[in-house]
A = this chain, B = another copy of it.
Amino acid sequence: MDKTQKTFAIGVDLGGTNTVFGIVDAEGNIVAQDSIKTQAYHTAEAFVEAGVKCLQPLIAQVGGIEQIAGMGIGAPNANYYSGAIETAPNIAWAHERVVPLARMFSEKIRPSLSCGHLPRNGESHPDGLPPHYGGGLGRGSFPVRLTNDANAAAMGEMAYGVARGMKNFIVITLGTGVGSGIVINGQLVYGHDGFAGELGHVTMVRGKEGRLCGCGRTGCLETYCSATGVARTAREILANTDRPSLLRDKPADQIESLDVSIAAGKGDEVANEIFQFTGKMLGEACADFAAFSSPEAFIFFGGLCKAGDLIMKPIEESYNQHVMPIFKGKAKFLVSGLMNANAAVLGASALALR
C-alpha cells in the first residue's frame, strides 16, 4: 500500500443504548475499540464531546489523526446528504431536533495542522475548533460521513463482506424492523432527499387487513418479516388455532423470534410454518425489488438470519416462484459475511473510505 495513503478509518455504530467507536484498518480489522452510553448525555454537544474524548486514546494507538482517512457513523434517522440525525424518536438528545452530527464531530476532531493533536478535556476552543487550529476555512476539515444502519451494513458488505466485487446488490436487515441498503452501479442509493432504501415499508398486504405499522400505515413488509413481525405471526397462529406447539411453553406475549427459530430447529410444525410464511413474503417482496434494480444478490443481515436455511430456503424458493421469468434463478441469496464481526462499526468505517 502507498505509504502516503491514510491506512485507518473510524467506524461508529450509534445505537439507542451504546455508541461503539472503532478504528478499522484497510483489511477490515477493528484494531482498537471503545464505547460510551448514547443516552448518558443531555445534549448532542455533550455527547459529541464525550465521543471525541473516548476516541482520543484509540487514535493515539494507531499513531495519531494523520493515519486516519475519515470517520463514518451509522445511526438511526440519519441523512447522508445533510449529515444530520433528523428527529430520532429513540435518542433523547435528537428527539424533536435535527442534529448536524457529521459537522459537529468534524469540527471537534479537526486536527491541528501544526502538531496534529486533539483537544483534551477542558482544552477545547470556545467556538468548537481544536486549539492550534491554523488552517483556512475547511483546510483542516476532518471528513465525517453519516448514514443509517442498513446503508452502513451495505457499505460493509461491499468493502469487507460477501458483496466484495459486486456493483448491484441489496442488503436487507431483519431486526426489530426491516431495513435496507441498496447498491446500484457500485453506489448506495440515497434518492433525491437522502431517505431512499426503506424497503421495510413497501406494502405487502393492501387494504384494511394489513397489520398496523410503526410508520402509521398498514401492511408494510416490516410488520410481517422483522423479528418482531415473526413473533407477531407466532402469537396470531397460537391464538387463532388449537394446534400443539413448543411455542405454547412460554406466555404468548413473551415469545420472540429466537423462540420460533429454536422450536423450528426441533421440528415444531407451527414454527416451521411461521418461517415458511415469512420467507414466502420476503421472496415475493424481493421479486418486486428485482423488477426495480435486478440485483446480483440479496444479502440478509440481522438476528433472524441465525435461523439459516429455515428462513433462507423459503425466501429463495418463493422468489424464484414469483419473480418475472427473465430474472428466475439469476439472483444469489446470501447471509451477511459480517455477522460475527462488529458489522455496524465495519460498515460505518467503509463509509469513510469512499
User: Interface of A with B (CB < 8 Å)?
Assistant: 166-168, 182, 184-185, 187, 189-199, 201-206, 215-217, 284, 287-296, 322, 324-327, 330
Cβ A191 vs Cβ B295 within 8 A: yes
Q: For A295, list chain B residues within 8 Å (CB).
A: 191-192
Copies of this chain present: 2
Q: For A185, list chain B residues within 8 Å (CB).
A: 184-185, 187, 189
- Complex CA distance for A293 and B195, rounded to whole angstroms: 8
Chain B min CB distance to A58 (Å): 34
Cβ A184 vs Cβ B189 within 8 A: yes
Cβ B189 vs Cβ A327 within 8 A: no
Given contacts A206-B284, A288-B202, A288-B203, contact A294 B192 (CB under 8 A): yes
Across the two chains, which residue of chain B brings its CB closest to A77?
Answer: B326
- Complex CA distance for A312 and B216, rounded to whole angstroms: 25
Cβ B292 vs Cβ A197 within 8 A: yes
User: Which of B192, B196, B198, B296 meets A192, CB within 8 Å?
Assistant: B296
Cβ A199 vs Cβ B292 within 8 A: yes
Cβ B296 vs Cβ A198 within 8 A: no
Across the two chains, which residue of chain B brings its CB closest to A202?
Answer: B288
Q: For A199, list chain B residues within 8 Å (CB).
A: 291-292
- Complex CA distance for A193 and B328, rounded to whole angstroms: 12
Q: For A330, list chain B residues within 8 Å (CB).
A: 192-193
Cβ A293 vs Cβ B324 within 8 A: no
Q: For A294, list chain B residues within 8 Å (CB).
A: 190-197
- Complex CA distance for A287 and B204, rounded to whole angstroms: 12
Report 14 cross-chain contacts, Cβ distance below 8 Å, ordered by A residue.
A185-B189, A191-B290, A191-B293, A192-B295, A193-B327, A194-B294, A196-B291, A196-B294, A198-B291, A198-B292, A198-B324, A198-B326, A203-B322, A217-B322
